Structure 1
Amino acid sequence: MKLRKAGIATISVLALALTATACGDGGKKDKGGSGSDSSGGSKSIKIGIKYDQPGIGQKAPDGSFAGFDVDVATFVAKELGYSEDQIEFVETPSADRETALKRGDVEFIAASYSINDERDKLVDFAGPYLLAHQDLLVASDSDIKEGTDLNGKKLCSVSGSTSAQNVKKEIAPKAQLKELSTYSECLEGLAGGSIDALTTDDSILAGYASQEQYKGKFKLAGLKLSNENYGIGVKDGNTALKDKINTALEKMVADGAWQKAVDDNFGPAGYKNEPAPKIGNIVK
């Protein structure tokens, strides 16, 4: 009889232990990040950004990151339940963005990622979180005020970009197009007087012009030559994450953090930003 009672007691203890273990697992928060462990929790989240765009996404020599997209991505990650030390930023060049999401290399991408019909077939987009425009960056004392003023002037952009080609084709056919390897090279030419204007998205131009060595030397022409709706890319079909990111973006705008990020990253170039776009409102 004593043996039987001991057996019952042992079984009871085991049952209680199993119940407690089950309750403990159920209380863990599954963040759903790319660093998820076997128990369903998550240690980190990988986010795709640019490493070489001042004001947008840039990696400093000390390994730190700065830029508008970095601020947006950090805010979103925190709303998803991650602390800053749990965020791992991954360099995601433009040509590799869709592939990186498909492979699962990153959980989401915030990298001056303009929403368009072709990309929308391959990934899902949260946002938009910024409405940018193709524009011109010129010297602060330049008399270029409209696109046609570029006729006979030297216009710079990076090799393979459609921005300068569009200006030359649609607005200033007599512009002298110069294509260089990087925007930084174009900017150096603009500072030295060998280039009259640089063209790409106004947010990117503002980021470059906001660098300490260039403050006060350049201005945006404010021509709004195109509409670029920046979105946060997630893997195609991941509507749950997309919805969570949209909620985070709405909160970022509502509490003033979005405007602060705009002012901090683009303000020195006199960037006149559009109001924060409404989620799902794509301006054609």
Structure 2
Amino acid sequence: MKISKVGAAAAVAVALALTATACGGNSDKASGDAGSSGGTGKDKVVIGIKFDQPGVGLKTPDGKYTGFDVDVATYVAKELGYQPDQIEFKQAISAERENLISNGDVKFIVASYSINDKRKEKVDFAGPYLLAHQDLLVRADDTSITKPEDLNKKKLCSVTGSTSAQNVKTKLAPEADLKESAGYSECLTGLESKTIDALTTDNSILAGYAAQEKNKGKFKLVGLNMSNENYGIGLKKGDKDLQTKINTALKKMVSDGSWEAAVKKNFGPADYKNEPAPQITEGS
């Protein structure tokens, strides 16, 4: 009987261990449990970026990700303990960014995401990490658009959910014929085919498109500063711990020179004149 009891106790212990292992899964959809890097404690982190913005956030035909926001996201993830192979990039179109965060589909979003009061009702931000200005992209031979008012009676394109389009429509050119598309690439196609007269968004994004090899000589930036767009990293509302960690990572990226190097690498070919790295204001 003694041997039988010992065997039964051992079986119970094994069963309890297996149960604990099975119940120890990760309940966070967008990131693994806290731990060191290299896959020993964190499985992966899901980060929202744009897939169609050259120079900012672009998924190339061979499945790679390039752009300034990608470099910022990768740097921040590293500071949070994730190696590049532990990052899963998820497409974050403008109109879906708040939903992706609130649903837990991403840990955070780095996607030319301008900080404003309306968005802060639903999500929190870290940063800002870049100050851009709203501008216009027109065809290289177009001399009819030199100021915002010239957009009245013209066909203007931007993406659904973008602050840029509404800024023009409500403040600068109320008679503009606004066309909203799912992505900037559609606007660019319309601009090239002359069904659209101008594309508006931040100068950083426009510079990325104009600098593409296939677009060289076709388009030009008008050179307007129609608004200040402070790009922030969006995260779940109330997650102060993550906000603080991301802000710390952004400050380090600036101080060690990685921020400036990323700006030059991604925007330099378009002769983009960037502002200095902005001061961190969110969460302070």
| TM-score (norm. length: structure 2) | 0.77
Please give the alpha-carbon distance, in whole angstroms, between the structure 1 residues aligned to 2:157 and 2:121. Answer: 32
Aligned equivalent of 1:259 = 260
Check conservation: 2:95, 2:162, Cα contact below 8 A. Answer: no
Superposed displacement of residue 130, structure 1:
0.9
Please give the alpha-carbon distance, in whole angstroms, between the structure 2 residues aligned to 1:164 and 1:93. Answer: 15
Aligned equivalent of 2:270 = 269
Among the aligned pairs, what percent are the same residue?
A: 66
Letter in 2 for 1:251: K
Q: Mark the structure with the bigger radius of gyration.
A: 1
Letter in 1 for 2:86: Q
Aligned equivalent of 1:118 = 118
1:149-228 matched pairs, under 5 angstroms: 149-151=150-152, 153-158=154-159, 163-173=164-174, 175-180=176-181, 182-228=183-229
Check conservation: 1:36, 1:44, Cα contact below 8 A. Answer: no
Q: Deviations over 1:230-272 (max 9, x none)?
A: 1111222221221111111111112222122222222333322
Please give the alpha-carbon distance, in whole angstroms, between the structure 2 residues aligned to 1:127 and 1:260. Answer: 18
Check conservation: 1:215, 1:269, Cα contact below 8 A. Answer: no
Q: Deviations over 1:164-191 (max 9, x none)?
A: 4543553345545455554223323333
Please give the alpha-carbon distance, in whole angstroms, between the structure 2 residues aligned to 1:179 and 1:38. Answer: 43
Q: Which moved more, 1:200-209 or 1:122-131?
A: 200-209
* Residues 120 and 210 of structure 1, relative CA distance in 2, 3 Å threshold: same
Question: What RMSD in Å do the two structures reach over aligned CA positions?
Answer: 2.9
Aligned equivalent of 2:127 = 127
* Residues 161 and 75 of structure 1, relative CA distance in 2, 3 Å threshold: closer
Q: Deviations over 1:38-88 (max 9, x none)?
A: 999212222121222222212222221111111100011111222111111
Please give the alpha-carbon distance, in whole angstroms, between the structure 2 residues aligned to 1:221 and 1:249. Answer: 31
Letter in 2 for 1:36: D
Letter in 2 for 1:95: A
* Residues 107 and 186 of structure 1, relative CA distance in 2, 3 Å threshold: closer
Check conservation: 2:45, 2:88, Cα contact below 8 A. Answer: yes
Superposed displacement of residue 119, structure 1:
2.0
Please give the alpha-carbon distance, in whole angstroms, between the structure 2 residues aligned to 1:238 and 1:180. Answer: 32
Q: Which moved more, 1:62-71 or 1:192-201?
A: 192-201
Check conservation: 1:220, 1:271, Cα contact below 8 A. Answer: no
Please give the alpha-carbon distance, in whole angstroms, between the structure 2 residues aligned to 1:240 and 1:168. Answer: 38
Please give the alpha-carbon distance, in whole angstroms, between the structure 1 residues aligned to 2:269 and 2:96. Answer: 31
Aligned equivalent of 1:49 = 49
Letter in 1 for 2:233: I
Aligned equivalent of 2:17 = none
* Residues 179 and 93 of structure 1, relative CA distance in 2, 3 Å threshold: closer
Check conservation: 1:136, 1:223, Cα contact below 8 A. Answer: yes
- Aligned-partner SS, 1:136: strand
- Aligned-partner SS, 1:89: strand
Q: Which moved more, 1:68-77 or 1:170-179?
A: 170-179
* Residues 106 and 275 of structure 1, relative CA distance in 2, 3 Å threshold: same
Superposed displacement of residue 276, structure 1:
0.9
* Residues 92 and 164 of structure 1, relative CA distance in 2, 3 Å threshold: closer
| TM-score (norm. length: structure 1) | 0.77
Please give the alpha-carbon distance, in whole angstroms, between the structure 2 residues aligned to 1:157 and 1:95. Answer: 12
* Residues 37 and 182 of structure 1, relative CA distance in 2, 3 Å threshold: closer
Letter in 1 for 2:46: K
Aligned equivalent of 2:18 = none
Q: Deviations over 1:112-142 (max 9, x none)?
A: 1111112223222110001122211123344
Q: Deviations over 1:145-173 (max 9, x none)?
A: 32233345443334665634543553345
Check conservation: 2:52, 2:184, Cα contact below 8 A. Answer: no
